[in-house]
C-alpha cells in the first residue's frame, strides 16, 4: 500500500494506531499474539492496535547510540536484552573508537534499564518464546532502532516477528523486510521527509502517558472490556 500525498496524514498517534490496526486484523483474537511498543511515541499507536486485536501490550526499549558532540547522528542502537546494532558507515565516517562506543553504550544501557522500570513498574515483561510478536513504533526514519528491537526479540525464539508502523520510507521497508516475517507500513511515501511530517499532532509522548496507557491496556485485557470514550 503506497500513498504519497500531503493530504494523507494522521491526526495523532492514536489515530495512526487505529488505521494500523486495520492492517493487522488477521491477528485479532489469537492467544499467541504479543504487541510490543517502542517508547515513547510507539506506545499510543500500539495501544490502539492491542485494543483492537485484544492482545497484551508491553514496551520494548531501544536507545540510540549518538555520536558524542553530534548526538542526533546515530552510530547505532541498543535494545532490551543487550543487543547492539552499529551503523558502521557512521562509525567509519566520524572515526569513533571502540572505547567511545563502549562508553556511550554503557550510559545508554543504564538509561534503558531505568526506563523499563519506569514504564512497566512491577509488571513482569511479556513472555515472547513461541509467540507472534508485533513490534510497533510511530514511524521509521532510518530503521536503526527497529532493527535493534527485531534482533533482540529474535533471541527469545518467537514464532513470528511482525514490524508494523504507520509510516516509513520505501527504502527502509525494503532493507528491513528480510529480517522479519512481515512488515506493514500504512503509508510509504517516497518523499518521506520525516516521521512527524505525516502527523497533524506529533507532540512528544510523556512518560506519564506511557505508564497510563500500559496500565489501562493491562486492566482492560484482564477485564475483557473496551475503554470508555474511545472510538470503536
| pLDDT at residue 226 in the model | 45
| pLDDT at residue 224 in the model | 53
In angstroms, the CA 65 to CA 96 distance is 12
Residue 54 has, within 13 A of its CA and on its CB side, a CA count of 11
Residue 222 — pLDDT band, cuts 50, 70, 90?
A: low
In angstroms, the CA 179 to CA 150 distance is 8
In angstroms, the CA 211 to CA 216 distance is 9
Residue 72 has pLDDT above 50, yes or no: yes
* Structural domains present in the chain: 13-62+126-223 (3.40.50.2020)
In angstroms, the CA 198 to CA 168 distance is 10
In angstroms, the CA 121 to CA 215 distance is 9
| pLDDT at residue 47 in the model | 98
What tens digit of pLDDT does each residue of 199-209 get? Answer: 999 999 999 99
Residue 100 — pLDDT band, cuts 50, 70, 90?
A: very high
Can you tell me the mean pLDDT for 161-182?
97
In angstroms, the CA 129 to CA 220 distance is 24
In angstroms, the CA 37 to CA 53 distance is 14
| pLDDT at residue 150 in the model | 93
Amino acid at each position: 500500500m503506497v500513498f504519497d500525498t500531503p493530504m494523507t496524514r494522521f491526526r495523532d498517534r492514536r489515530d495512526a494506531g487505529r488505521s494500523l490496526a486495520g492492517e493487522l486484523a488477521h491477528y485479532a483474537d489469537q492467544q499467541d499474539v504479543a504487541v510490543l511498543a517502542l517508547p515513547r511515541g510507539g506506545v499510543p499507536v500500539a495501544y490502539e492496535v492491542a485494543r483492537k486485536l485484544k492482545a497484551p501490550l508491553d514496551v520494548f526499549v531501544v536507545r540510540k547510540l549518538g555520536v558524542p558532540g553530534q548526538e542526533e547522528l546515530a552510530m547505532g542502537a541498543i535494545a532490551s536484552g543487550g543487543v547492539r546494532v552499529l551503523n558502521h558507515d557512521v562509525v567509519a565516517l566520524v572515526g569513533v573508537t571502540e572505547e567511545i562506543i563502549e562508553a556511550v553504550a554503557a550510559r545508554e544501557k543504564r538509561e534503558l534499564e531505568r526506563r523499563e522500570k519506569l514504564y512497566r513498574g512491577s509488571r513482569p515483561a511479556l513472555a515472547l518464546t513461541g509467540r507472534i510478536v508485533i513490534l510497533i513504533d510511530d514511524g521509521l526514519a532510518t530503521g536503526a532502532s527497529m532493527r535493534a528491537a527485531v534482533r533482540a526479540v529474535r533471541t527469545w525464539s518467537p514464532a513470528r516477528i511482525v514490524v508494523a508502523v504507520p509510516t516509513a520510507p520505501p527504502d527502509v521497508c525494503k532493507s528491513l523486510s528480510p529480517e522479519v516475517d512481515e512488515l506493514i507500513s500504512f503509508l510509504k511515501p517516497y518523499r518521506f521527509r520525516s516521521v512527524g511530517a505525516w502527523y497533524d499532532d506529533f507532540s512528544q509522548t510523556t512518560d506519564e502517558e506511557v505508564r497510563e496507557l500500559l496500565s489501562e491496556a493491562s486492566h482492560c485485557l484482564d477485564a475483557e472490556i473496551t475503554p470508555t470514550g474511545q472510538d470503536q
